[in-house]
């Protein structure tokens, strides 16, 4: 390769080692698997993109590279980067080769594709539809009703809790009893009923030919337990690469090990210090135990140079994570010197916290930083409430991530239910939603119709035989005609336009703000145009929904400037010049005052670490002395007095500049001064009648 490798010159020595690992052994995949432990801001994305590009330049077949990332956005950013690098070396050929990187996506998305290909071997109909969390909860609810658990026993766990428990059992591959006693002790008394419920839920999914999110991994993991299939699937790929490995769960690990049992061609990248998805059953053990799974042991490359943050920010973050109980030790360093320590700001309450941030954000803007270069991070979406009010009051535009998603809105769900039902006439949740859009058609009739067509070999064709109640009139025939037309597979994306035309009069009848919602649907149609088929569109959209929606308070246009508000979870992988973290107090981070098990506590510590390491130049951790707790348990809404988070003990304090806001003098002039004024309104009112 010689001179061609000049494109690797921008990498530091460790990054380069990670990129080049095994590539010189000819075109065969490297025999030893590779683990890249990439500290925060150490250029993980950059390194992985270079490794993929380097492989392609060295002659690897891009169609035989499997690249799995945490989100679809991450996958498409990665492919774009790979293309840029390849273009530099191979000029116009680069684009052609990277276009062939067709196996880049999320675990769930890739799983869905492979399952369709191997459906027959599993006795699965390849036209299966996928239920998102809400649909899955609805189906769970149906099973719950059928078993009589919802009526007779009023304290039986809600549909959401049932689904969460089910999902945890599946993803952690742990027995139900263990999951209950560890994570849901208040439901432990329902063990047998829950078991029965989950059995019924699984039967219902199979009868309806639907898979939920967890099934995509579960079926896949089951498939690769059959050695012949595992070999066949594994042999399709020379290289398997996984990003954000610290946030994978044990099902994902078994899929990976099933595909590449000896680790040949396997590369995983991650940072154990940033593992924050245990609530989805991710386990930091996957990455901690990775090297010893193989013989010979996996090669480990550690990236310790941080390109993002200034030294004082990094030192504070290092000290916070330094107190963690178990980790791959790395000492992140940077040459970005600065005199400014991160600030630990004490404010009276959440109102003052909001004012403080609004003031600071505007000050920064005066000094030249755009709003987009600043972000406010929080543990839980509801913590941002008072800040949202303050920003709105002061006309500071903002966008919030980690809140309501496009696909959760009623009208988008309605339109998708048409396509899903047309795709799979056994999908009762889609059918149930769709049928009830007709005026006069209620849940009982909808159930009856669905029962009736379920017996038909082609349920959508079977709709022609259904005699709908007379009061529904012509609307019934119109619905059936529309569905059959779409189901026949005529033209994509024209089908979605057909569905929208049918739906629009219903939309106008159901929603007052129909025109806003119509704009969303037009946008959905636009998005649909980017997919080759209805099935691909439905799958991808269910797995990785876009954020923008008219239900969000005035989403600014993309070229406008706005402040970023985000949960810490949604801030993963991102960076900003200035970062503010809300409610850095016990009870918020860690989220539960009683934060019992040490594993959970460790995860909360990593959350704070992830938040802190998003900052490039300035970091403010805000600690209100009181905060508001929403009605949890039996205690209801109340204010509680807060203490600084336990993750910043006294020994770590010297890493921060401690400030109180407002400064004492300013408080006198503000609300504080008014506190001492007394007015006897009672006497005045009595005086009116004397």
Ligand X SMILES: Nc1ncnc2c1ncn2[C@@H]1O[C@H](COP(=O)(O)OP(=O)(O)OP(=O)(O)O)[C@@H](O)[C@H]1O
Q: Which segments are annotated as binding site for ATP?
A: 38-45
- Cα–Cα nearest to 623, from 589, 595, 596, 600: 589
Q: In whole angstroms, what is the distance from residue 40 CA to residue 276 CA?
A: 13
Copy the structure tokens of residue 661.
């806001």
Q: Does 275 bind ligand X (CB under 6 A)?
A: no
CB of 271 to ligand X, least distance (A): 5
CB of 268 to ligand X, least distance (A): 14
* Binding segment (CB under 6 A) for ligand X, from list 4-12, 119-127, 475-483, 676-684: 4-12
Q: In whole angstroms, what is the distance from residue 135 CA to residue 205 CA?
A: 11
Which one among 570, 613, 623, 645 touches ligand X, defined by CB under 6 A?
A: 613
Q: Does 115 bind ligand X (CB under 6 A)?
A: no
CB of 171 to ligand X, least distance (A): 23
Which is nearer to ligand X, 11 or 642 (by Cβ)?
Answer: 11
Q: In whole angstroms, what is the distance from residue 616 CA to residue 164 CA?
A: 36
Angle at 129 between CA 123 and CA 132, to 5 degrees: 125
Which is nearer to ligand X, 10 or 175 (by Cβ)?
Answer: 10
Helix, strand, coil share (%) of the chain residues, nearest 5? 55, 15, 35
Contact (Cβ atoms closer than 8 angstroms) between residue 621 and residue 653: no
Which is nearer to ligand X, 244 or 551 (by Cβ)?
Answer: 244
Q: Which residues pair with 270 in a beta bridge?
A: 37
Copy the structure tokens of residue 415.
């339109």
CB of 272 to ligand X, least distance (A): 11
CB of 20 to ligand X, least distance (A): 14
Q: Which residues contact 182 (CB under 8 A, 6 or more apart)?
A: 597
Q: In whole angstroms, what is the distance from residue 642 CA to residue 348 CA?
A: 10
Q: Does 308 bind ligand X (CB under 6 A)?
A: yes
| First and final C-alpha spacing in the chain | 101
CB of 250 to ligand X, least distance (A): 22
Each residue 67-106 as x (binds ligand X by CB under 6 A) or -, in order, gives ----------------------------------------
Q: In whole angstroms, what is the distance from residue 331 CA to residue 319 CA?
A: 10
Q: In whole angstroms, what is the distance from residue 19 CA to residue 204 CA?
A: 47
Which is nearer to ligand X, 331 or 651 (by Cβ)?
Answer: 331
CA distances from 487 to 126, 460, 496 (A): 15, 8, 11
What is the footprint of ligand X within residues 204-243 (CB under 6 A)? none
Counting residues that bind ligand X (by CB under 6 A) gives 18
CB of 292 to ligand X, least distance (A): 23
Q: What residue numbers does the annotated binding site cover?
A: 38-45
DSSP sequence for 420-440: HHHH-TT-HHHHHHHHTTSTT
Contact (Cβ atoms closer than 8 angstroms) between residue 582 and residue 387: yes
Q: Does 628 bind ligand X (CB under 6 A)?
A: no
Instruction: Using DSSP, state whether 341 is helix, strand or coil.
Output: coil
CB of 303 to ligand X, least distance (A): 7
- Cα–Cα nearest to 581, from 350, 347, 377, 398: 377
CB of 294 to ligand X, least distance (A): 24
Report which residue's Cβ sits closest to ligand X. 43
Which one among 88, 307, 381, 436 touches ligand X, defined by CB under 6 A?
A: 307
* Binding segment (CB under 6 A) for ligand X, from list 6-14, 187-195, 343-351, 656-664: 6-14
What is the footprint of ligand X within residues 426-465 (CB under 6 A)? none
Q: In whole angstroms, what is the distance from residue 539 CA to residue 536 CA?
A: 5
Which is nearer to ligand X, 422 or 571 (by Cβ)?
Answer: 571
Copy the structure tokens of residue 490.
């005529």
Which residue is it, tokens 């403080």?
356
Each residue 29-68 as x (binds ligand X by CB under 6 A) or -, in order, gives ---------x-xxxxxxx----------------------
Which is nearer to ligand X, 273 or 521 (by Cβ)?
Answer: 273
CA distances from 215 to 52, 198, 222, 474 (A): 29, 13, 10, 39
CB of 314 to ligand X, least distance (A): 11
Q: How many CB atoms are closer than 10 A to CB 251? A: 22
Which is nearer to ligand X, 354 or 571 (by Cβ)?
Answer: 571
Angle at 538 between CA 494 and CA 214, to 5 degrees: 175
- Cα–Cα nearest to 581, from 359, 388, 399, 345: 345
CB of 682 to ligand X, least distance (A): 59
What is the footprint of ligand X within residues 397-426 (CB under 6 A)? none
Instruction: Using DSSP, state whether 54 is helix, strand or coil.
Output: helix
CB of 150 to ligand X, least distance (A): 43
Which is nearer to ligand X, 43 or 105 (by Cβ)?
Answer: 43
Which one among 214, 215, 271, 427 touches ligand X, defined by CB under 6 A?
A: 271
Which is nearer to ligand X, 267 or 424 (by Cβ)?
Answer: 267
Which is nearer to ligand X, 19 or 112 (by Cβ)?
Answer: 19
What is the footprint of ligand X within residues 9-28 (CB under 6 A)? 10-12, 15
Instruction: Using DSSP, state whether 342 is helix, strand or coil.
Output: coil
Phi/psi for 66 (5° steps) reads -105, 120
Which is nearer to ligand X, 11 or 354 (by Cβ)?
Answer: 11
What is the footprint of ligand X within residues 469-528 (CB under 6 A)? none
Q: How many CB atoms are closer than 10 A to CB 317? A: 28
Contact (Cβ atoms closer than 8 angstroms) between residue 445 and residue 466: no
Copy the structure tokens of residue 580.
């503010």
Q: Does 573 bind ligand X (CB under 6 A)?
A: yes
Which is nearer to ligand X, 229 or 288 (by Cβ)?
Answer: 288
Contact (Cβ atoms closer than 8 angstroms) between residue 111 and residue 538: no
Q: Which residues contact 121 (CB under 8 A, 6 or more apart)?
A: 223, 229
CB of 269 to ligand X, least distance (A): 9
Phi/psi for 314 (5° steps) reads -65, -40
Q: Crossing angle, helix 514-528 and helix 494-510, to 10 degrees?
A: 170
Which is nearer to ligand X, 44 or 355 (by Cβ)?
Answer: 44
CB of 574 to ligand X, least distance (A): 7
Which is nearer to ligand X, 333 or 531 (by Cβ)?
Answer: 333
Binding stretches for ligand X (CB under 6 A): 10-12, 15, 38, 40-46, 271, 274, 307-308, 573, 613
């Amino acid at each position: 390769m010689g001179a061609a490798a000049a494109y690797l010159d921008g990498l530091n020595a460790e990054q380069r080692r990670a990129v080049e690992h095994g590539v010189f052994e000819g075109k065969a995949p490297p025999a030893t698997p590779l683990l890249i432990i990439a500290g925060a801001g150490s250029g993980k994305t950059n390194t992985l993109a270079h490794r993929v590009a380097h492989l392609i330049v060295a002659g690897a077949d891009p169609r035989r590279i499997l690249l799995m990332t945490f989100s679809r956005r991450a996958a498409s950013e990665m492919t774009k980067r790979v293309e840029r690098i390849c273009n530099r070396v191979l000029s116009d050929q680069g684009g052609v080769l990277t276009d062939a990187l067709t196996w880049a996506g999320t675990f769930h998305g890739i799983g869905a594709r492979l399952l369709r290909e191997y459906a027959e071997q599993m006795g699965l109909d390849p036209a299966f539809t996928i239920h998102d969390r809400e649909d899955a909860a609805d189906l769970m609810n149906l099973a719950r009703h059928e078993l009589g658990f919802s009526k007779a026993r009023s304290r039986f766990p809600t549909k959401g809790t049932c689904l969460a428990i089910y999902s945890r059992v599946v993803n952690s591959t742990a027995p139900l009893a263990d999951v209950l006693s560890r994570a849901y002790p208040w439901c432990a008394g329902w063990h047998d009923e829950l078991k029965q419920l989950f059995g019924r839920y699984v039967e219902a999914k199979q009868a309806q030919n639907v898979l939920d999110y967890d099934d995509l991994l579960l079926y896949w993991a089951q498939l690769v337990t059959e050695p012949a299939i595992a070999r066949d699937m594994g042999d399709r790929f020379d290289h398997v690469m996984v990003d954000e490995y610290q946030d994978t769960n044990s099902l994902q690990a078994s899929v990976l090990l099933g595909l590449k049992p000896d680790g040949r061609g396997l590369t995983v990248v991650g940072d154990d210090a940033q593992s924050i998805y245990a609530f989805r059953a991710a386990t930091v053990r996957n990455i901690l135990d990775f090297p010893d799974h193989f013989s010979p042991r996996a090669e480990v490359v550690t990236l310790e140079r941080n390109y993002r943050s200034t030294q004082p920010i990094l030192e504070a973050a290092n000290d916070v994570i330094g107190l963690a109980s178990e980790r791959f030790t790395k000492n992140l360093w940077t040459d970005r010197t600065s005199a400014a320590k991160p600030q630990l700001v004490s404010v009276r309450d959440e109102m003052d916290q909001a004012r403080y941030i609004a003031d600071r954000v505007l000050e920064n803007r005066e000094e030249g930083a755009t709003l987009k270069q600043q972000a406010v991070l929080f543990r839980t979406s509801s913590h941002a409430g008072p800040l949202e009010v303050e920003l709105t009051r002061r006309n500071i535009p903002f966008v919030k991530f980690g809140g309501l998603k496009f696909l959760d809105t009623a009208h988008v769900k309605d339109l998708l239910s048409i396509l899903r039902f047309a795709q799979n006439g056994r999908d009762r949740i889609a059918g149930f939603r769709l049928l009830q859009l007709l005026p006069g058609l209620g849940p009982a009739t909808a159930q009856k119709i669905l029962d009736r067509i379920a017996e038909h070999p082609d349920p959508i064709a079977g709709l022609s035989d259904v005699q709908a109640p007379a009061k529904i009139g012509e609307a019934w025939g119109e619905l059936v005609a529309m569905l059959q037309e779409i189901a026949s597979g005529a033209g994509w994306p024209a089908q979605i336009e057909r569905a929208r035309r049918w739906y629009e009069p219903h939309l106008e009848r159901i929603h007052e703000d129909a025109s806003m919602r119509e704009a969303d649907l037009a946008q959905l149609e636009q998005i649909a145009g980017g997919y080759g088929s209805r099935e691909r569109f439905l799958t991808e959209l269910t797995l990785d929904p876009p954020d923008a929606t008219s239900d969000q308070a005035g989403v600014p246009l993309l070229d406008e400037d706005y402040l970023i508000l985000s949960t810490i979870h949604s801030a993963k992988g991102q960076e900003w010049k200035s970062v503010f973290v809300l409610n850095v107090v016990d009870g918020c981070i860690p989220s539960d005052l009683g934060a019992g098990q040490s594993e959970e506590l460790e995860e909360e510590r990593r959350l704070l670490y992830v938040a802190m390491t998003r900052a490039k130049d300035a970091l403010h951790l805000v600690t209100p002395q009181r905060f508001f707790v929403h009605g949890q348990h039996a205690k209801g809404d109340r204010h509680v007095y807060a203490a600084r988070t336990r993750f910043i003990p006294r020994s770590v304090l010297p890493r921060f500049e401690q400030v109180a806001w407002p400064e004492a003098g300013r408080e006198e002039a503000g609300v504080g001064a008014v506190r001492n004024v007394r007015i006897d309104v009672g006497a005045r009112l009595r005086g009116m009648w004397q």
